[in-house]
Structure formats: C-alpha cells, structure tokens
Amino acid sequence: MATPKTALSALLKTRIEGSGSETIVFCHGYGTDQSIWDKVVPILAQNYRVVVFDWPFAGSVKDQKLYDPLKYSSFEAFGDDLITLLTEIGIKSATFVGHSMSGMIGCIASLKRPDLFKRLVLVCASPRFLNSDDFEGGFKNSDVEQLISVMENNYEEFASHFASMIADTANSENVATVEKYKKGLIKMGAEVALPLAKTVFYSDYRELLDKVETPCTIIQTTNDKAVPRSVALYMQNKIKGEATLEIIHTDGHFPQLTSHLKFIEVLKATLDSDVLN
C-alpha cells in the first residue's frame, strides 16, 4: 500500500493563531524561520487570523530533503509552494506580509493567483540586491563574492559577520536581534545557506514589478544596509497597482523585531483602511 503523502502545510510547520474576518499570512526571509514574527503574532492574533510557517530552507524544518537547491534556484518554486500552502489551509483572500526575499515571492504568487491576495505588504524587500549601472541594490559584485568565499571557508564567521551587518550591531538596542539572526543562520547550515545565497543575490525581478496589480504596502526602515531606501522608492514607482511606502524609524533589516509596536501599528492601519474601502 502506498504511503500517504504528507501535506505541504504540515511539512512547513504551518501554524494558525487567532480568529477574525481578516487573515494575515506572515512569510519569513533568508536565515530565519517563523519565530521572526514572535513579537507581532500574539498581539495581532487578538483581532485577526494569523498564519505563519517555515520555508524548506529554515533550520527548524526537520526534513532536510525538503530544500532542493536545483528546485529552489529561483523564487518561482517558492511562489508555487506558497500557493499550494494557502490552498491547502483554505485561504480565500489574505493580507500577505513578506520579509526580505519573501516580498518578491509574494509578488510572483500574486501574478499566478491574484484571488488569494488582498494586499501585499513588502517588508525590507528588494527585486535585486546587486548594484548595476542604473540601479542601487545595496551590494557590489565584489561584496557578494567575498561573502560567498567566507561562507565556503568559515561558515560561522560568515554568520557572525553577516548578522552584525544586516541586523545593525552599531545600535546597542539591536544586539538581541543580531544574536537571533546569527543563530538562525547557523541553524540553517552552510549546505543550504550557500546555494540559497546565490539564488537571492543573483536574482533580478525588477521587470516583475510593473505586472503586479495587487495593492502593495512597502515597509522600509530608515537605515537598512541590505536594502537602501532608494529600492523602496523604486518599487513604489514601478509597481503597477496601488503602492504606498511606510518608513519605520529604526535601524537594520528587521523592523518586526527592533520596532515591533510601530510595525504592528502600520499593519493595523493598512488592514483597517482595506476594510473601510
């Protein structure tokens, strides 16, 4: 007798908290897992139905075979997984909150199944992380080559350096965030982190933006070394549908950790506005 196939939502440790007429789906980025939303989920679950899950690359996922570097060599496969997961758990229309790389994943999924997405909230997201002649992505080619070299030779050194840079160790209040991100990177492991880093850093989804018709809210911090503010302005200008930009006054790449109350305030205002409209 054939072994029954485990649902993707179970494999990705999908968790649903709270209840309400509005659903929020939170989607984490590189080097983290669903715990990156731990400061915001309990508060929002008081009034909304909240969905969190772990991507196959997260260190918290038990089945290490789930992450296939070939399959996930582009964001499209993640977009397909997202659609499958939302369909499995019966989501009809949700506000999608995608952090970092997951912002573009949400955009990709919204093109295939616009009915599933009421709004896209793109948190410190970017269509391209590399600089080019006409675009400031935040990283030079030489920066990325050096990061990849360190990953290959001393992964723990990479995790420490990258966490300090991205989470902003200059601000003493962000020390806990740096440490949390470092632990997430180490837990993910070099065998997953290296191919995924190449997927993230060498992707270019700028041409996708003028096809996105789902309303978007772009959330950006005042100082993000991974995503310059110019990227947020670029996305606001290029996205085809309605796109608004919200700046949260905090340093680093993780406003859901370093300024979670303001982050919640922005999300609630966005959701309330959608309900009224």
HSE, CB side, 13 Å, CA atoms: give it for residue 271.
22
Task: Tell me how far apart the alpha carbons of residues 12 and 6 are, in angstroms, rounded to a whole number.
Answer: 10
CB 209 within 8 A of CB 239: yes
93 part of the active site: no
Task: Tell me how far apart the alpha carbons of residues 261 and 250 are, in angstroms, rounded to a whole number.
Answer: 12
Question: Read out DSSP for 126-173?
Answer: -S--B-BTTB--SB-HHHHHHHHHHHHH-HHHHHHHHHHHHHTTTSGG
253 part of the active site: yes
Pairing label, strands 15-17, 23-27: unpaired
Q: Which of 54, 99, 100, 126 is catalytic?
A: 100
Task: Tell me how far apart the alpha carbons of residues 190 and 239 are, in angstroms, rounded to a whole number.
Answer: 34
DSSP label of 2: P
Q: Which of 33, 81, 224, 251 is catalytic?
A: 224
Task: Tell me how far apart the alpha carbons of residues 98 and 30 are, in angstroms, rounded to a whole number.
Answer: 11
224 part of the active site: yes
3-state secondary structure of 78: helix
Task: Tell me how far apart the alpha carbons of residues 32 and 119 are, in angstroms, rounded to a whole number.
Answer: 23
3-state secondary structure of 272: helix
CB 271 within 8 A of CB 18: no
Catalytic positions are 100, 224, 253
